[in-house]
Amino acid sequence: MILQNKYVLLGITGGIAAYKAVELLRLLKKAGAYVTVIMTESAKKFVGITTFEVLSENPVLSDLYFDTDASVKHIELAKKADAAIIAPATANTIGKLANGLADNALTTTLLAVTCPVMVCPSMNSDMYQNIRVQRNLDILEKDGWHILDPDSGVLACKTTGAGRLPEPWFIFDRIEAMLTRKDMKGKRVLISAGPTVEAIDPVRYVSNHSSGKMGYAVARAAEKRGAVVTLVSGPVHLDSPVGVTRINVESCDEMAVQMLSRLGEVDIIIKVAAVADYKPIDPKSSKIKKKDGHSELTLNMVENLDILKLIGEKKTKNQFLVGFAAETDDLEKNAVLKIKKKNLDMIAANIVGADDSGFKADTNKVKLIFRDGSFSDIPLMKKNEVADILIDHIIEKML
Ligand SMILES: Cc1cc2nc3c(=O)[nH]c(=O)nc-3n(C[C@H](O)[C@H](O)[C@H](O)COP(=O)(O)O)c2cc1C
């Protein structure tokens, strides 16, 4: 959402990773950004301009003096830009920019921008470690530009070390973070997400349909807004949100230990996890075998710990506690009862069971209910949008 209708300059320089800029451009366009690509002469030796012109639906700026159209194109672009990214950024271009040189369309435009800038260095690891390159990166960072550290691994030049351009999805994620207002800076947030699994025997378990998508969206949103986020996660098939500390757990008991031991270190606790209400009383240490094809198996279950209630009992008055309620009936009534019973500050109640809301969906329809009895309806929208609105309300209530 943050990139919707934003003017983005994508600078591409003459590095072997220039091909990755194609995918980055695609992601920026998909997010609704207006992108103008600026290429150095060397960049054009690695990837042709046609691909970028077609994907960006814009002419590529490369020759400062060509097609000026009686306008000063680079200044016009610089003025309009909401963000500028150089990916990949060569040692050469980094050096020029650190020293205020402007000898081509990219460096000239970049010296004129006032928007946030992200530089993504990519080169051979010895070049990257070179003291002059490091000095130039330091200068750019101290001057307020964002430097995205390169990945480590085997590089195109067959050496191993730091210097590889991060994957396009990662660069895109950090561009979003760069543009997001940091209204959670200084806040420490503890989030639980996903299901728990309760062992029946070493190969079977009792669990639920929680995908973890909502909790992960909240973790991503809080991190992008500047919070220090710890995510205690049950087993899910999701990538870890960038910049978030993820702790994997399986059972409710494990989740309780991880959540409760961190309570003293956080300002906000958001319990999104769908913790199994019951667990088998007596999980077997070896696999339960079938017998004659007609045998019956009775599973005796016992109630699990109520993690949310335990946190509610321990929380201080400066901490803000949010619970999620996944209900199938009497949504509001049950949510209000839960706020009181568990000492919550807010509850996000969602109806599970509908295709477009609840556990596995990418969208959710949520009713936020507060301690003072007020409430706010969030209409059906993507879970990452729901997460941002949820955080807006937490910040408002904490002020
Ligand atoms: C095959 C090849 C690959 C290169 N890869 C890189 C690279 O990954 N990073 C880098 O900083 N320079 C790399 N260079 C060197 C740059 O292309 C060179 O320094 C050039 O002057 C950069 O110009 P620019 O910064 O204007 O794009 C490479 C050169 C060649 C011939």
Domain ranges of the chain: 7-179, 188-398
331 falls in which pLDDT band (50, 70, 90)? confident
Residue with structure tokens 């080169």? 123
Q: Does pLDDT of 357 surpass 60? A: no
Q: Is 248 in the pocket of ligand 1 (CB under 6 A)?
A: no
**Residue having the nearest C-alpha atom to atom 28 of ligand 1:** 15
Q: Tell me the sheet residues that pair with 8.
A: 35, 83
**In terms of CATH, what superfamily is 7-179?**
Flavin prenyltransferase-like (3.40.50.1950)
**Residue having the nearest C-alpha atom to atom 19 of ligand 1:** 92
Is the Cα dihedral 158, 98, 139, 165 positive or negative? negative
Q: Give which of 367, 371, 264 is closest to 311, Cα–Cα.
A: 264
Query: Rounded to the nearest 5°, which phi and psi values hold at 373?
Result: 95, -15
How far apart (Å, rounded) are the C-alpha atoms in residues 270 and 230?
10
Q: Is 123 in the pocket of ligand 1 (CB under 6 A)?
A: yes
67 falls in which pLDDT band (50, 70, 90)? low
Q: Does pLDDT of 353 surpass 80? A: no
Q: Is 93 in the pocket of ligand 1 (CB under 6 A)?
A: yes
How far apart (Å, rounded) are the C-alpha atoms in residues 357 and 110?
44
Q: Is 14 in the pocket of ligand 1 (CB under 6 A)?
A: yes
What is the Cα Rg of the chain in Å?
Answer: 26
Instruction: Give the pair of three-digit tokens for residue 292.
Output: 């004659």
What's the first-to-final CA gap in the chain, in angstroms? 25
**Mean pLDDT, residues 360-373:** 82
Given its phi and psi angles, is residue 330 left (phi above 0), alpha (psi -120 to 50 degrees) or beta?
left
Q: Which helix (H) or strand (E) holds 151?
A: strand 151-154
Total number of residues shown for the chain: 399
pLDDT tens, 164-215? 999 999 999 999 999 999 999 999 999 999 999 999 999 999 999 899 999 9
The whole-model pTM stands at 0.90
How far apart (Å, rounded) are the C-alpha atoms in residues 87 and 94?
11
- The distance from CA 336 to its chain's CA centroid, rounded to whole angstroms, is 31
Determine the residue of 10, 16, 94 to mutate for testing ligand 1's pocket, defined as the one with the most ligand atoms within 8 A of the Cβ atom. Answer: 16
**Residue having the nearest C-alpha atom to atom 3 of ligand 1:** 16
Q: Which helix (H) or strand (E) holds 8?
A: strand 7-12
Pairing of strands 278-280, 346-351: unpaired
Task: For residue 90, give every residue at least 6 positions away whose Cβ sits within 8 Å of its Cβ, in sequence order, or none.
Answer: 13, 14, 15, 40, 42, 122, 123
**Residue having the nearest C-alpha atom to atom 4 of ligand 1:** 15
Is it true that domain 188-398 has CATH number 3.40.50.300? no
Decide whether 7-179 matches 188-398 in CATH topology: yes
Q: Is 40 in the pocket of ligand 1 (CB under 6 A)?
A: yes
5 by Cβ neighbours in 10 Å (0-12 / 13-18 / 19+) ranks as exposed
